[in-house]
Amino acid sequence: MARSDKRYREAYNHLLDFCAGLNVGDAIPSEKVLCEEMAVSRTVVRRCLGGFEENGLISWEGRDKRLLRLPQKSDRLDELDGGLSSDDLEQRFFDWILRFDVAADTPLSVAELSRTFNVPQHELKEFLAGLSRFGLVTRRRQGGWMLRGFTKDFAVELSDFRSVLELNAIAHLVEAPVDHPIWGQLKQLRAQHDDLARRIDRDFHEFSKLDEAFHRAINSVVANRFTREFQKVISLIFHYHYLWNKAEEKQRNAAAIEEHLAIIDALEARDEGAALKAARAHLRTSKTTLLSSLRYHELG
Amino acid sequence: MARSDKRYREAYNHLLDFCAGLNVGDAIPSEKVLCEEMAVSRTVVRRCLGGFEENGLISWEGRDKRLLRLPQKSDRLDELDGGLSSDDLEQRFFDWILRFDVAADTPLSVAELSRTFNVPQHELKEFLAGLSRFGLVTRRRQGGWMLRGFTKDFAVELSDFRSVLELNAIAHLVEAPVDHPIWGQLKQLRAQHDDLARRIDRDFHEFSKLDEAFHRAINSVVANRFTREFQKVISLIFHYHYLWNKAEEKQRNAAAIEEHLAIIDALEARDEGAALKAARAHLRTSKTTLLSSLRYHELG
DNA sequence: TCAAATGTTTTTTATGATTTCAAACCTGCC
DNA sequence: GGCAGGTTTGAAATCATAAAAAACATTTGA
């Protein structure tokens, strides 16, 4: 019934490792140095030292700390797993939404999500609060949350917003200096697209990854924290919906590769008009695909 | 150490009001009906009824509930204030940041903020989690939060992002049908601008409000939840910084009025090229003003 | 007989209590 | 007199619990 001492346990084991590099009789560095070594506060360091002393690992009197014996396997504290899974909650949440095709206006139970994702409730609440900024979820009057979700309106607005950002990126890109890393990336992307185009019959599944890389590269030229944050959400949603929409996947992907290449052509020719035109066409296709994938689900 | 019974108290008083509209001896409606009336769960309704019975307000046996006497003032439960202040946390938070000119990279203490804003800690944590989606704050490794704040980079990126959204809105606007409400709004805004221009010497302070109204109107044509969310943050920040930057305020505002009018002219002429040009000019000025207001603070 | 209302149980949410942790502040030593 | 070690204070993370919601079971009366 309080915060976990995970940090202490980790620090303790870290300090064991550190001591393993010393010889018996050596002096242990000052508390401050240990803080920096383990990236933790002095309070924790002192607690660790206290534990060490109690277990006869070190002597500790005033500022004289000495290693009495080398640490053994049995000295380690077991680190209760925990955090492992709360790292990429975002990824897993979207995965869940899209994989199970959770309907719009579904009430989300924090308790239930907390169990399925193995993440403490308050973390989920913070996460949902963040999503509510993007209008993906809302608070319900009677408590709890609701997925506002992937309705047609949502898809249209998301696509439109994406277009605005991406066309802006394209406009920036044609102005980029010749030594900007993007040109190297585009060259490489072109090669990857050409390569995949040749073996599209078999490996059409690989396109999803390539698509993400392509759009990320394009958007990377706009050094803007707002764009970047949004891009993360946008690309996740598009990515999963594409994966999900199996209808005519091969043709779609083949067509998309051509569209990407057309954009790259125009960009490398520094032809802003052509680049914007090609990008608009591609974004239009994307939007249609996203919408049709929704319809597909509504029927199925 | 549990949730408050605020909801119960509110429902209790609500039910008193409801009963005041009945006559002694009348039957009380079913629990379900009362739920809907008071927008609350049956659990709460039953608790209220239990309280009523105990206080001799009603008889309650099975599904026969009857009013025994009319409720009096003394029957009311006092509703502990509470929520009053946590409503517009966002507004007050930005106000605080900008008014006290809180520096970038300032650690934010949830406990402290919770006291200054009189809002429970978990609400603040959710709020901050939301802001982190916009890159306004970040989590610190050792716990707590940090304001990423109003650096030059931030201002530049914010201005650029605003420009992207607003130029898009302008492009949408010229395509709006003649019966779209925006045309009426623009006409009205023109009148207000003309009016303020005439008395600018005295009332130049009023421009801030007008500016906000102008930009909100422009952006309202883009029916997009993402745009809308961002717009809220953007307008808040610009609004406060403008208020704050007193240097040459009168001239600045007079010039901005002219710029606004130029945009309105072009829009009403349905001249996209001219509108975008005018808007770009105005956004450039805005950006400069925002940046200079930062510099002003760094020096002061 | 069966649908609506009530009674009962389970589950979930909101929220402060509790413990760990961070950091400021002394204190004394070389 | 600056640095290392002790001490205190206050904040953050996490959990337990009351209140509320929802699900489930039972009764009632047309």
Report the C-alpha gap between A236 and A97 in whole angstroms. 11
Name the residue with tokens 């005295």.
B202
- Cβ contacts of A39 on chain B, cutoff 8 Å: 141-142
* pLDDT tops 50 at residue A232: yes
Q: What's the average model confidence in pLDDT over B26-44? A: 94
Chain A, 148 to 207: residues with Cβ < 8 Å from chain B are 154, 157-158, 160-161, 164-165, 168
Continuous H helices in chain A: 6-20, 31-38, 42-54, 89-99, 110-117, 121-133, 152-174, 181-198, 200-203, 207-220, 225-244, 249-268, 272-299
Q: Give dist(CA A28, CA A176) in Å, integer.
A: 54
Task: Give strand pairing partners of B130.
Answer: none
Q: Encode pLDDT of A38-85 as tens digits.
A: 999 999 999 999 999 999 999 998 889 999 999 999 999 887 665 556
> Which nucleotides in chain D have some atom under 7 angstroms from a protein Cβ?
3-8, 10-23, 28-29
Task: Please indicate whether residue B118 or residue A262 has the higher confidence score (pLDDT).
Answer: A262
The secondary element (H helix, E strand) that includes residue A147 is: strand A145-147
- pLDDT average, residue stretch A238-247: 74
pLDDT of A89: 87
Q: What is the pLDDT, as a whole number, of residue A266?
A: 97
Nearest to B43 by CA among B60, B56, B31, B29: B31
Q: Which residues of B touch A234 (CB under 8 A)?
A: none
The CA distance from A252 to the nearest CA of chain B, in Å, is: 27
The string of pLDDT tens digits covering residues B167-192 is 999 999 999 999 999 999 999 999 99
Nucleotide with the nearest C1' to B4 CA: D19
Residue-wise pLDDT tens digits, A82-106: 555 666 888 888 888 877 778 888 8
Whether CB of A1 is under 7 Å from strand C: the answer is yes
Nearest to A157 among B122, B142, B225 (CB): B225
DSSP letters, chain B, are -----HHHHHHHHHHHHHHHTS-TTPBPPPHHHHHHHHTS-HHHHHHHHHHHHHTTSEEEETTEEEE-S---GGGPPP----GGGGTTHHHHHHHHHHHTTPPTTEEEPHHHHHHHHT--HHHHHHHHHHHHHTTSEEE-TTSSEEE----HHHHHHHHHHHHHHHHHHHHHHHTS-TTSHHHHHHHHHHHHHHHHHHTHHHHGGGHHHHHHHHHHHHHHTS--HHHHHHHHHHHHHHHHHHHH--TTHHHHHHHHHHHHHHHHHHHHTT-HHHHHHHHHHHHHHHHHHHHHHHHHHHH-
Q: Please, which pLDDT band fits residue B144 given cuts at 50, 70 and 90?
A: confident
> At A101, is the secondary structure helix, strand, or coil?
coil
pLDDT cut 70: percent of chain B above it: 94
Confidence band, pLDDT 50/70/90 cuts, at residue B300? very low
Widest CA span of chain A, in angstroms? 76
Q: What pLDDT score was predicted for residue B240?
A: 74
Give this prediction's pTM. 0.82
The per-residue pLDDT for range A170-216, each reduced to its tens digit, is: 999 999 999 999 999 999 999 999 999 999 999 998 998 999 999 99
pLDDT in tens, B116-141: 998 889 999 999 998 888 888 898 88
Locus of tokens 């307000």: B57
Residue A299 confidence (pLDDT): 46
User: What confidence category does residue A297 fall into, taking pLDDT thresholds of 50, 70 and 90?
Assistant: low
pLDDT per position as a tens digit, B218-239: 999 998 988 888 888 888 778 8
pLDDT over 70, % of chain A: 94
Locus of tokens 């400069």: B288
* B81 confidence band (pLDDT: 50, 70, 90): low
Are residues B89 and B113 in contact, defined by beta-carbon separation less than 8 angstroms? no
Average pLDDT, chain B: 89
- Residue with tokens 């609060």, as numbered in its chain: A129
Q: If we measure between CA atoms, which residue out of B83, B68, B59, B88 comes closest to residue B23?
A: B68
- Cβ–Cβ gap A125/B130 under 8 Å: no
Alpha carbon of B264: minimum distance to chain A alpha carbons (Å): 23
Cβ atoms of A122 and B122 closer than 8 Å: yes
pLDDT band at B78 (very low <50, low <70, confident <90, very high): confident
pLDDT: which is higher, A245 or A122: A122
Q: Which nucleotide is nearest to B62 (CA to C1')?
A: C6
Question: Given pLDDT bands bounded at 50, 70 and 90, which one contains residue A300?
Answer: very low
Beta strands B137-139; A137-139: pairing state: unpaired
- Taking residues B197-208, report their average pLDDT: 92
Distance B42 CA to C10 C1' (A): 15
Q: CA B295, CA B300: separation in Å to the nearest integer?
A: 8
What is the rounded CA–CA span in Å between residue A275 and residue A269?
9
Distance CA A234, CA A215 (A): 10
The per-residue pLDDT for B53 is 94
Question: CA–CA separation, A78 vs A92, rounded Å?
Answer: 27
Q: Is the pLDDT of residue A295 over 70?
A: no
Q: How many CA atoms lie within 13 A of B30 on its CB side?
A: 2
In the predicted structure, residue A132 carries a pLDDT above the cut 50: yes
Rounded distance between C-alpha atoms, residue B58 and residue B22, angstroms = 12
Average pLDDT over residues A283-291: 91
Q: Give me the pLDDT at residue A235, please.
A: 83
Burial class, A261, CB count within 10 angstroms (exposed 0-12 / middle 13-18 / buried 19+): middle
Min mean pLDDT across A93-107, B244-258, B261-275 is at A93-107
Higher pLDDT, A73 or B90: A73
Return the pLDDT at B86.
65
Note whether A87 contacts B: Cβ–Cβ < 8 A: no
Overall average pLDDT of the A138-147 stretch: 88
Confidence check: pLDDT of B52 > 60: yes
How far apart, in whole angstroms, are the C-alpha atoms of residue A279 and residue A263? 6
Subset of residues 116-135 in chain A with CB less than 7 angstroms from any atom in strand C: 121-122, 125
Average pLDDT value for chain A:
89
pLDDT tens digits along B146-164? 988 777 888 899 999 999 9
Does the nearest atom of strand C lie within 7 Å of B120's Cβ?
A: yes
Q: What percent of chain B has pLDDT over 90?
A: 62
B210: tokens are 């007008």
**Cα–Cα dist A53/A59, whole Å:** 6
